[in-house]
Amino acid sequence: MATAKATTKAKATKEAPVVKTLDELKSDLAAKLADQLEAKRGHRAGELQNPRVLTHTRKDIARLHTAIRAAEKEGEK
């Protein structure tokens, strides 16, 4: 007779993100754009080991654009 164990997953709590200033967000964006440019060059040259870097970088850039826009809207109020 097999007994079934009750498995419960502990919910992982996320820590609050560090609040960055608008200038820090813009500098992070510039760095990500430079990283994306280098990754694209490496991909075209066949040197890029993991092409998923392109997708992750593009999504990070979109997140930064969203955060910048939200910070600008907050500053208007």
Residues 48-76 pLDDT 10s: 999 999 999 999 999 999 999 999 998 88
Encoding tokens for residue 29?
């964006």
The number of angstroms, rounded, from the C-alpha of 21 to the middle of its chain's C-alpha atoms is 17
Name the DSSP letter for residue 36.
H
**Domain range list for the chain:** 22-76
Q: How many Cβ atoms sit within 10 Å of the Cβ of residue 25?
A: 20
Single pTM value for the model:
0.74
**Per-residue pLDDT band at 77 (split at 50, 70, 90):** confident
Q: How many Cβ atoms sit within 10 Å of the Cβ of residue 39?
A: 19
Which amino acid is residue 53, in one-letter code? V
Domain 22-76 bears CATH identifier 1.20.5: no
* Position 9 pLDDT exceeds 70: no
Q: Where are the beta strands (DSSP E) in 1-77?
A: none
